[in-house]
Structure 1
Amino acid sequence: MTTETRHDEVRRWLAGVGTIAAAVNAPVELPALLDLIARTACELTGYEAAGVLLADDAEHALVISGAHGLTTEYVARVNAEHTIELGSGPLSSGPSSRAFRTAEPVAISDLAADPSFDPWAGLAREHGYRAIVAVPLLVGSRPAGTVNCYRTGVHHFGPDEIDLLKTLANQAGIALETARLRDRERRTIDDLEQLNQSLTAQHRLLEQAEQIHRELTAVALRAGGVQAVADALARLLARPVLVADPAGQPLANAQHRGVLLDPAPIATAGDTAEEATSPLRDSTTGELMTAPVVLGDELVARLWIAGRVSGLGPLDRRAVEHAAVVCGLELLRQRTALEVEWRLRGDVLSDLLGGGDSAGLGARAESLGHDLTRPHSVLVVKADRPGGQVQQGAGPSDVRRLLGIAQVTADGSGPRPLVTSWGDYVVVLWPEGRPGPRAADAAEAIRQAAQRALGGGTASAVVGRCCIALSDYASAFRIARGALELAQLRGRTNRTSTVPDLGVYGLLLQLEDPRELVRFADGVLAPLHHYDERKDLSLVATLRTYLEQGMSTSRTAAALFVHPNTVGLRLRRIEELIGVRLADPGALLHVKAAFMAEDVTGSAWGSSSPAPDGGPLPGAARASASGVDRARGERGRKT
């Protein structure tokens, strides 16, 4: 070979190596670089095909990752069906595997004559390949893969030829290492950029979280009230916010850009038991979302926010949760203040019903904002119990809810009504003779609101008489309370009543001294009570049911779940014991009046309540009250 020819050869190889170096500096993506190495190998050596094989991450196999001249089918089938393995087995003895393990070139002049190539011989023959040389591709003195060159005819690879291929492979190794470093650097830069963006976003989130904490904490510290909580949340979310009690009555309404939420659909939106304390969720009432405000296990309010939950970011949701907590604290603060005020009013009512010092009572009531010198009607409200079980006390939460409802109703009126509780009863002294709702309207408003607030329960209300003097309140309260108990006992629940609505019962309740009623009831019914106690029978309950069923033996038997003959026998025993014939209209009226007297004395004073003069009821009254209890218990068992 002439000197000029050698110089041309050197320049050609240098140009090929330079092309690879330029591609690395460009930079070029790794698959394109590997294809370029394979093409350069073919161009510099005149081989028909070349491939660059790289070890997988676990170094279990070699994969053709770049190629020139090799068909797509050949590359796919080698990689998928005839994988070049680096461990042990029939697919790990080929030239590529040996070149990788020994870091030395492996050449096969005739593929058909070398058994180590048998797994790939058929595939190579289909595509016309007859000779191969595999040169290790070193990266930092460690094999990373091989450069394979193919000839379509039998070919002997000489030492000079292999040395040139090793030089090309070494340059390719440098290019591969540089490309990998560049890829790692690019990934590192991308990771750093993402981290920087994440840190920036987190910084913004921390600033927003600090703003949420600062604004809502400031509301809590200055005791700004529920309205201040709603205003702060509306600013943070840039949305209107409404706070409503469990019955749907607004407690606060905060606008955004002049827009306020309409409380009307909220007041009619009922929650199921599961939804009542569920987390932030979309409401079925228009484009609204709602979140509970809970104290302990009690739902005390709900936040209503314009929009849907999907439109809130994580911090917005945190703001809603934080606002619900602060709102609960504000309501707890208000409740504590109200409970202290209710307790003070309860002391006034207790002394008022007990006939305390008039001058002192008036001054104490005036200090609480109530003028007892003007006429007041007595309203009594109580939660209904299932099946008319009036002897069971209402739950503390029911009384508290009813107190809150009555207070909201009273707050819109002036002069200020006195709202407090007396045991299981909510008592309202409603001022008369001034503009605004009448006592009956106020009682009905409280009852209707209770139906929404008691979680499916109901309440009954009675409007008592109007009191002019302080001495009128004890009897007015007693009569109204007895009327309410009688209404609940007779199943007339979830309604607002007045004493005249009870007819004869109302008249009997207004008797100041129950002793005559007790004596009359005992004179008629005591033999039946004593007989029931000795024999453990139900003559009183049978007689009461017989009267309630229109003197029908069959209906009485069905109501008591006994045979009609049993009812007939009991009625004859009753007639013998009390000395009357139930078929006699006069005697029947006598018995009915005794039952009514017994109901009145048991409901108006009860077995442990004091008589109007402050002393205990006589033994006859206690017996008649216990008789009412037994009758109620018997009817509870029959149902």
Structure 2
Amino acid sequence: MKERSDRAAERLRDWLKALAGVGSAVNRGISQHDLLSMVAQTACELMHYDFCSVTVPDAASTVLVIEGSHGLTADYIRNVNATHPIRLQRTSLPSPSSQAFTLGIPIQVENAETNPSFGPWAAAAHDQGFTSMIAIPLNAPSGTLGTLNCFTRFSHHFDKDEVSLLTVLADQVALAMNTARLHADQGRIIAELKSLNENLEDQYGLQRKVAEVHHRFTSLALQGGDIADVGAALAELLHRSVVVRSVHGTVACKSGIDTSGLLEALEGTAMYQSQGDSGHEFTDNRLAEVQIPLRDGSSAPAVRAPVVVREEVAAWIWTTGNVTDLTPLDRRAIEHAATVMALELLSSRNAAEAAWHRSGEVLAGLLNSQGPLSSSLLAQAESLGHDLSQPHAMIVAQHDWMRTHGIQNKLSDAVARLPGESRPQPVVGVYQDHVVALWPLGSEALESARQAAEAIRRALTDGEPNAASSLAVLAGPVSDPTSYPETFSIARGAAELARLRGLSGQTLLVSDLGMTGLFLQIPDTVRLHSYCEEILGALRRHDSSRGTELVQTLSVLVRNNLDARTTAAQLSTHTSTILEQRRLIEEILGCELTNVAAMTRISTALQLDEVLAATRA
């Protein structure tokens, strides 16, 4: 009796030790596979079974898979898990394991070879070498978690005591699995909270650094710094070269170790213009990576960011390298720099617009004056940086007024790019549908202002050098401020005369028009008209009464050195017609066109006629 009691006590100790081992394993945080394999081994050792396995449903809860085992071969496990899975749904004859899982009660099979429910696994059972098996559900408050399957080599009936003990073990396994899952969930939540906290700390640190960057930029602006100062601070933060260019190509900042290479690459491409036309709305403030061409034919990555003023791109921030190499702080620094630069540009624009209007008032006062200039006009000019006491060249440019958008900014940028920082400010404005600039010459010749005239002409044509309206005239120099109205009249007449001659896409000096340019400077047009009438009057009256165009034919003939064939081609008529018209012209004028003296008078009259036509226009 005592021996029996000792065996019972020893078995109870073994069970308690085994259950404690399961609990300890859960507390150690071992994986579910290792935990269930330990349970399978424990069941075999406590109950003296040959094989054990623990099955759990897959992620879709459609089949049971062996998650832990003891004694079973890899081939048997592969057969159950892959070849003949234990289905939980859509099966006409459920397996013992699926029945135990679904019904929540133990299901046993005394002979696996003859039991129909074990049919798909009979061959595998034979190869594994077991005959009997029992499936115990792992019941938990939340539902069945799986099954504990025990196998014996020989036929065996699992009696009530065995089932009770296995049920106790299964309940402990279910409790252990639940606890392990809770531990896993708790660990995952803790990891997520830790990661979230780290992210919040990183975000706070980033926001603090961003605030410091913004404070640095705004402090620079408030202390009188300009775009170049903000760009230099940005280059220092990025450890990269930084170039800031207006959409018209004016360099507002170049800071960093090697800005020359970046500037050279940007000069070699129209990218900054085509991607930054200030005439279009722009709402995308994201950084972009672009490839810029290098001198050797290769390309290099560069990052650009827009500086947006009033929903339009006013400038681009360029820096070297890739976008992906920028840290979050770098990106925010560029964005804040762009914002501060936009405020600076807006302030500069407002000041420039006010100066533009005041400069326009000075220009109108000069060109409308009919005597000595008033002291108030001189004082206003001086306050804007104009020195009217020195000689000026007058630049008169025709402009396509369908392209009026941003004309003041285009002209300001064009003037700012020209060399000569120490010179007085030019007077630039619009007068009688022409852009007019009074360019200070100092001691230089009139020709020195051609570069400025050409820059203004190009600025007005949006980079299209052959635009039909692309023409500028350079007149002067003007030393007496009271002569500006007369000089404007001459320059405007020269521009109209050039248009009538079909000239465009260039900058002309009045002297480039030859003798016609001199005629433009004769104020007494009545005498010029009388001379033209004396020479060409008879021909003009013939045209009027007969509906002919002999004056035009004569003009083209003179221009072509009396070549009838060339003249005929230009007037789209036959050579014989031109020869007949020439004979008629000579008869009406009473002279031969081959006569040098007569030809000189006629040529002069035709040029004067052009001048008068331009003046009338």
TM-score normalized with structure 2 length: 0.82
Number of the residue aligned with 2:438: 428
Number of the residue aligned with 1:352: 366
Name whichever of 341-350 and 100-109 sits farther off: 341-350
TM superposition shift of 1:192: 0.6
Deviation by residue 1:3-39 (Cα, 9 ceiling, x = unmatched): 3333333333333222212211212122211221122
1:515 to 508, 516, 526: 526
* Map 1:328-347 → 2, pairs under 5 A: 328-347=342-361
* Map 1:72-221 → 2, pairs under 5 A: 72-90=74-92, 93-140=94-141, 142-218=143-219
Structure 1 residue 261 corresponds to structure 2 residue 271: no
State the identity %: 32
1:293 to 286, 307, 325: 307
Name whichever of 461-470 and 170-179 sits farther off: 461-470
1:457 to 445, 461, 464: 464
Q: CA, structure 1 residues 336+550, in 2 after alignment: closer, same or farther (shift >3 Å)?
A: farther
1:412 to 417, 421, 425: 421
How far apart are the structure 2 equivalents of 1:136 and 1:581? 132
Q: CA, structure 1 residues 366+296, in 2 after alignment: closer, same or farther (shift >3 Å)?
A: closer
Structure 1 residue 271 corresponds to structure 2 residue 273: no
* One-letter amino acid of the counterpart of residue 414, structure 2: I
Provide the aligned C-alpha RMSD in A: 3.8
How far apart are the structure 2 equivalents of 1:500 and 1:77? 103
TM superposition shift of 1:239: 4.0
TM superposition shift of 1:497: 3.6
Helix, strand or coil: the match of 1:44? helix
TM superposition shift of 1:589: 6.2
Q: CA, structure 1 residues 399+592, in 2 after alignment: closer, same or farther (shift >3 Å)?
A: farther
Q: CA, structure 1 residues 264+4, in 2 after alignment: closer, same or farther (shift >3 Å)?
A: closer
TM superposition shift of 1:448: 4.9
Number of the residue aligned with 1:397: 406
1:370 to 386, 411, 418: 386
* Map 1:615-630 → 2, pairs under 5 A: 621=616, 625=617
Number of the residue aligned with 1:469: 480
How far apart are the structure 1 equivalents of 2:411 and 2:185? 70
* One-letter amino acid of the counterpart of residue 204, structure 1: G
TM superposition shift of 1:59: 3.1
Number of the residue aligned with 2:451: 444
Q: Any conservation in 2 of the 1:49–1:150 contact (CA below 8 Å)? A: yes
Helix, strand or coil: the match of 2:200? helix
Helix, strand or coil: the match of 2:53? strand
Number of the residue aligned with 1:281: 288
TM-score normalized with structure 1 length: 0.79
Helix, strand or coil: the match of 2:244? strand
Helix, strand or coil: the match of 1:584? coil
Q: CA, structure 1 residues 590+118, in 2 after alignment: closer, same or farther (shift >3 Å)?
A: farther
Aligned pairs, how many?
586
Q: Any conservation in 2 of the 1:383–1:399 contact (CA below 8 Å)? A: no
How far apart are the structure 2 equivalents of 1:571 and 1:454? 43
TM superposition shift of 1:363: 4.0
Q: CA, structure 1 residues 247+528, in 2 after alignment: closer, same or farther (shift >3 Å)?
A: farther
Name whichever of 398-407 and 514-523 sits farther off: 514-523
Q: Any conservation in 1 of the 2:397–2:457 contact (CA below 8 Å)? A: no
Helix, strand or coil: the match of 1:112? coil
Q: Any conservation in 1 of the 2:411–2:459 contact (CA below 8 Å)? A: no
Deviation by residue 1:190-231 (Cα, 9 ceiling, x = unmatched): 001111011111112222333344444455666643234324
Number of the residue aligned with 2:246: 245
Q: Any conservation in 1 of the 2:245–2:315 contact (CA below 8 Å)? A: yes
Stretches of structure 1 that go unaligned for 5 or more consecutive residues are 386-391, 606-620, 626-639
Q: Any conservation in 2 of the 1:128–1:152 contact (CA below 8 Å)? A: yes
Q: Any conservation in 2 of the 1:291–1:320 contact (CA below 8 Å)? A: yes
Q: CA, structure 1 residues 39+383, in 2 after alignment: closer, same or farther (shift >3 Å)?
A: farther
Helix, strand or coil: the match of 1:113? coil
Name whichever of 178-187 and 354-363 sits farther off: 354-363
How far apart are the structure 2 equivalents of 1:185 and 1:528? 110
Name whichever of 480-489 and 28-37 sits farther off: 480-489
TM superposition shift of 1:336: 2.6
Q: Any conservation in 1 of the 2:529–2:612 contact (CA below 8 Å)? A: yes
Helix, strand or coil: the match of 2:454? helix
How far apart are the structure 1 equivalents of 2:590 and 2:521? 31
Deviation by residue 1:43-90 (Cα, 9 ceiling, x = unmatched): 222323222111234533222222222222332332233222223323
How far apart are the structure 2 equivalents of 1:281 and 1:218? 27
Helix, strand or coil: the match of 2:516? helix
Q: CA, structure 1 residues 597+397, in 2 after alignment: closer, same or farther (shift >3 Å)?
A: farther
Q: CA, structure 1 residues 314+521, in 2 after alignment: closer, same or farther (shift >3 Å)?
A: farther
Q: Any conservation in 1 of the 2:457–2:507 contact (CA below 8 Å)? A: no
* One-letter amino acid of the counterpart of residue 259, structure 2: L
Q: Any conservation in 2 of the 1:444–1:496 contact (CA below 8 Å)? A: no
Q: Any conservation in 1 of the 2:140–2:175 contact (CA below 8 Å)? A: yes
How far apart are the structure 1 equivalents of 2:385 and 2:448? 22
How far apart are the structure 1 equivalents of 2:612 and 2:288? 52
Deviation by residue 1:493-549 (Cα, 9 ceiling, x = unmatched): 454443222212222222223334455667557569868xx98x9988777666666
